[in-house]
Structure 1
Amino acid sequence: MRITVSGLPGSGTTSLSRYLSEHHGFTMISAGEVFRQCAKEHNMELAEFGRLAERDPAYDKMIDARQKEIAEKKDNIIVEGRLSGWMVEKADLKIWLFAPISCRLERILFRDQIADIITAKAITLEREHCEAARYRQYYDIDINDLSIYHLILNSEHWGISELGSIVDTAIGKVQAPRGNDS
């Protein structure tokens, strides 16, 4: 089984992917963590590294190609990342997590240890704009087109275990033999 988990920064994609990986014994690949690690390796803030990636497509394309290659070769895998639903075309279950910007900013503030909410908002909106432009330019993908997803969930009102339960049910239905609706 191949599952993709996508969403905007702070929507909970990494947390949900970790939950699914632990509960189902699936391997997890995270584009966001790879991107953050690359930023650290270059001694850059995330937004600054995003601008570098905007000037040099090699960074994004390397991460995207690696995710796609691994996902196509492995089974029982969770591929987490903004474009994973687009890159892993033959995924059995494609999930998009949504949360309002105010909710996402609180999470980002805590996760990335940003000084204040105004700075977090500026960094996040710049990152989202930068990424959306790159996705359109590199792959002709509109990140706001959610039509490819099987399941779209709002992560603001549910914790990871509740979201995980919903997805566990979906996984069970996908894995069930056709014609078995029990």
Structure 2
Amino acid sequence: MSTVIELRPLADDVEESLILLDRDFAAVYGPDMGVWAKGVRGELLEMQRARRTADREAHPLHPRRASASRRRRHLKQLSWRIRGIAPGAVTVLVTPLWTDTTGTGCRHVVARALTADGRVLKFRAGGSRQITALLQGAYPAANWDHPQSWRADTNTLTDRVSLKAVA
């Protein structure tokens, strides 16, 4: 006799945590959200957004493929777009992280931006995912299983394992 083990999808866990969050807020502040203070509503919405986007760092698992003209446009606008997410970024380090929380390996890609003097820049929620998606769209031939570093002054991506520039 064998036992069937069903793994719950991550979306179910997120949905369950959102339901529990709504229930907790309704128990404290009442069921009518219209009479809540503006700060309380903002806190609830911020917590909901944080719980919905907590799993989004794993989103860019595969690099996007694009036509040659679109890739050239991505490359041309890349520093401007990254500056919009991380103002003052000179170097962006992109590192894949492998986790095994549910029994199956899962890859998360994390981006970290550095200023000219080496200080780490903080992103708003989802900034790491956005920067990773931009870099993967501009450099689809890069090996995203290895750590990569992108330099704003030369607009080049370098594989940190082999230290080769990716075209």
Q: Indicate the TM-score class for this superposition, using the shorter chain for normalisation.
A: under 0.3
The higher relative CO (CA closer than 8 Å, separation ≥ 6) is in: 1
TM-score, scaled relative to structure 2: 0.23
User: Which structure has the larger Rg?
Assistant: 2
Between Structure 1 and Structure 2, which shows a larger proportion of strand residues?
2
